[in-house]
């Protein structure tokens, strides 16, 4: 099949590469000409402008947007006047599912199909394949199956599944899911599933980070601690005499453990290369999906304490808890706390 890929960042470029490896034709466009040139050298057809891209694509044209969620609205505004009835637009980024519903309705009035594809796999997806969570009109999704089948891990296994019409019956759903892609439902369903996927990811990341942090400080009993009325003393230092190699622990957990995962493998690799994590500031961003997951849980009245705590931990990592912590310190001092290092410079009442 022929496809136009708009957005050649780390994900978009590799999606195009993987599609080409499986025999599909890619016309590529990006605001950075160097990104276009790089893929042209690998067999893609470069387009310096949207007009040029549209002229190179055969009707019905398939266009895959792989841009940040914040840039989708502007990208669609540029693209929409150039589209014709029957064209298909795929949003493979991390858009909010409610935006998908609105966008599909707006484009639908012009006879243009809109498909939302939650895409997971990161920069390892080129080699490993991607996990695709798909929403939109089912017949259009079936038409696009050769593209989806090329992108997922099942494409590189001996038991490669031929397109079967996902969503038609239960065994087809299961077959495609085992291959790595799934039709999740109408417009927005793919990004809704990806939204929760990323919320779960927040929780998994937080669990690994917290567990390994406890292991890191398991040698606290070997350290000297001055008596301080403001700090609860360590009653049994003899219980905390361990110095662990965290990279080795993360690695051993990857083999036969119930908490093994690809993510844990990344943790092991990072710790092996940089045991003190000196390269990293500790500032953890959130791109929206974690917030939207918690909002959905609130709307559904479904408890999600782990996902919520993981989201708030990210806020804290960016210094957004500093004022609250300062206020806690001030309150503690106000009702009789001893002066700490920071409070010693604070003005005192006569």
Q: Which residues are catalytic?
A: 194, 201
What is the H or E stretch that residue 132 is in?
strand 131-135
Evaluate whether 73 touches 100 at the Cβ level (below 8 Å).
no
What does the H/E/C string look like for 225-278? CCCCCCCCCCCCHHHCCCCCCHHHHHHHHCCCCCCCCHHHHHHHHHHHHCCCCC
Residue among 123, 100, 107, 114 at smallest CA distance from 191: 100
Residue among 95, 47, 43, 98 at smallest CA distance from 74: 95
Evaluate whether 261 touches 204 at the Cβ level (below 8 Å).
yes
Evaluate whether 129 touches 148 at the Cβ level (below 8 Å).
no
**Tokens, residue 193:** 């599933």
Evaluate whether 144 touches 167 at the Cβ level (below 8 Å).
no
Contacts of 4 (CB under 8 A, 6+ apart): 26, 27, 28, 29, 47, 53, 54, 56, 57, 61, 62, 63, 64
In a 3-state reduction of DSSP, which class is residue 210? helix
Evaluate whether 94 touches 71 at the Cβ level (below 8 Å).
no
């Amino acid at each position: 099949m022929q496809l136009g890929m708009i957005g050649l960042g780390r994900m978009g470029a590799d999606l195009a590469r993987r599609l080409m490896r499986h025999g599909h034709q890619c016309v590529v466009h990006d605001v950075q000409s160097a990104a276009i040139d790089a893929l042209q050298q690998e067999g893609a057809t470069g387009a310096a402008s949207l007009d040029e891209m549209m002229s190179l694509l055969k009707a019905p044209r398939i266009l895959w947007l792989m841009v940040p969620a914040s840039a989708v609205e502007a990208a669609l505004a540029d693209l929409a006047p150039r589209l014709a009835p029957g064209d298909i637009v795929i949003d493979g980024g991390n858009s909010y599912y409610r935006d998908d519903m609105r966008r599909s309705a707006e484009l639908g009035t012009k006879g243009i199909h809109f498909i939302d594809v939650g895409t997971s796999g990161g920069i390892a997806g080129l080699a490993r394949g991607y996990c695709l969570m798909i929403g939109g009109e089912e017949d259009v999704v079936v038409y696009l199956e050769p593209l989806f089948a090329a992108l997922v891990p099942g494409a590189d296994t001996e038991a490669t599944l031929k397109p079967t019409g996902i969503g038609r019956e239960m065994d087809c759903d299961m077959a495609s899911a085992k291959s790595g892609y799934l039709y999740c439902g109408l417009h927005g369903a793919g990004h809704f599933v990806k939204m929760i996927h990323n919320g779960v990811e927040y929780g998994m990341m937080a669990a690994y980070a917290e567990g390994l942090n406890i292991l890191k400080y398991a040698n606290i009993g070997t350290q000297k601690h001055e008596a301080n009325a403001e700090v609860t003393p360590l009653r049994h230092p003899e219980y905390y005499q361990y110095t662990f190699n965290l990279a080795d622990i993360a690695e051993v957990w990857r083999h036969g453990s119930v908490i093994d995962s690809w993510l844990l493998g990344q943790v092991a690799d990072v710790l092996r290369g940089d045991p003190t994590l000196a390269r990293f500031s500790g500032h953890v961003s959130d791109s929206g999906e974690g917030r939207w997951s918690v909002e959905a849980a609130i709307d559904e009245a479904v408890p999600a304490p782990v996902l919520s705590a993981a989201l708030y931990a990210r806020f804290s990592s960016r210094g957004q808890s500093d004022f609250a912590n300062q206020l806690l310190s001030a309150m503690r001092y106000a009702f009789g706390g001893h002066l700490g290092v920071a409070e010693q410079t604070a003005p005192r009442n006569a």
